[in-house]
Structure 1
Amino acid sequence: MSSLLNTVLPCYVRRTRLPLLSLRCVDCRSETATTGQGRFRVNANGKLLDVWLLVRCVSCGRTHKLTVHERAPVKSFDPTQLDGYHSSDPDLVASTLLDPRLARRHHFALNWEGCWRLDTPSVWVDEPWPVQVVVHFEDPVPLRPERLVARGLGLSRNAVLRRVKSEIPLRRPTSSGFTFTVLPGDSRSTTSEIPG
């Protein structure tokens, strides 16, 4: 198949905002919380520091603290990281929230609905078929490849199953990069299946 490929194109799954947390509120029992703009709280107790990531219940507004570091010696922190906690650096907020260890410790899941976009090349129609596409994930957004490919290429899900070949299962969620090949449309395809 690779010898028949004319073009290799990259696609990128990018985060548009921080995902919501599926985390039960102790006050109103809602299941949804947000980091909002993302803030840390740092508390010093002698030479020990506590660092929390603050999240807010979407329903009632109650603030919850997710422990990031507990009674950690000040000397154990990299100065740049410590500055990031004090200034609530957005990149540090994102990397902390997306760390699976934090989710396991606090028993929450991330809700990525509406928090990502797929950036695709704008030259699909001009490219000769078949086309090989390499998908890169900038953040661990769990998506079904079938849905991702359909959305990115403007194909129906039936067309994806007919025209797309991949080494990974298209119906099983992934958050890792993968490669797929789009074959030329057949007589059953319609022009609406090809992005314009």
Structure 2
Amino acid sequence: MLPWVVRRTRLPLLSLSCVDCRSGSATTGEGRFRVNANGKLLDVWLLVRCVSCDRTSKLPVHERASVRSIDPGELHGYHVNDPELVAARLLDPLLARRNHFTLDWTGAWRLDTPTERLDRPWPLQVAVAFADPVPVRPDRLIAQGLGLSRNEVLRRIKCDISLRRATSTGFTFTVLAGD
């Protein structure tokens, strides 16, 4: 069985309307948080920047949270703008739902495949693993990995999941020999 791995190459863009230019894309840039204390209560925001006009906006991560309710390690991560914490918060579906944005993964991932892939006998079995929760349609992923058209993929691939519905969980498939 051949192992394929889907990896994130950068943070995805946010599909978020800008209040100044009404552009539909924003980025976290290098990833920064803003922490504001008011007595024993904290506000934490993830700063995002409009791709078109460069305006900075804030996405609330914690609002009026008690200092004691936030893990000290996590709080330190907010203060030092920990890149892993930025990625974790950005990929959190609750934050996306609460702040009304979706993630645009175009150009933000790559597929790592072994080089000896087609030298094996047919049928060929492949196991796809996701190092990051990148939602990808399996038919597009397989077409890219094997260098086939999507119609050819639909004809030659046997898989237990829907090839036309995006997934970010691992799956396996079998490639049947061509005509």
Report the TM-score when normalising by structure 1.
0.88
Q: Please state how far the C-alpha of 1:182 moved relative to its aligned partner.
A: 0.9
Is 1:60 the counterpart of 2:66? The answer is no
Is 1:156 the counterpart of 2:165? The answer is no
Is 1:85 the counterpart of 2:78? The answer is yes
- Quote the residue 2:26 is aligned against: 33
- Quote the residue 1:125 is aligned against: 118
| Percent identical residues | 73
CA distance in 1, matches of 2:62, 2:118: 51
CA distance in 1, matches of 2:118, 2:11: 33
Report the TM-score when normalising by structure 2.
0.96
The 5 A counterparts of 1:1-196 are 8-186=1-179
Structure 1 residues not aligned, in runs of 5+ = 1-7, 187-196
CA distance in 2, matches of 1:10, 1:128: 16
CA distance in 1, matches of 2:151, 2:105: 25
1:3-46 deviation digits (Å, cap 9, x = unpaired): xxxxx111111100000001011111111100000000111111
Give RMSD over aligned pairs: 1.0
Q: What amino acid does structure 1 have at the position aligned with 2:33? A: F
Structure 2 residues not aligned, in runs of 5+ = none
CA distance in 2, matches of 1:86, 1:77: 12
Any idea what SS the aligned residue of 2:76 has?
helix
Deviates more, 1:176-185 or 1:37-46: 176-185
Q: Please state how far the C-alpha of 1:47 moved relative to its aligned partner.
A: 1.1
1:161-195 deviation digits (Å, cap 9, x = unpaired): 22110011111222221111111222xxxxxxxxx
- Which portions of structure 1, spanning 4 or more consecutive aligned residues, are displaced by more than 6 angstroms? none
How many residues of Structure 1 are paired with residues of Structure 2 in the alignment? Answer: 179
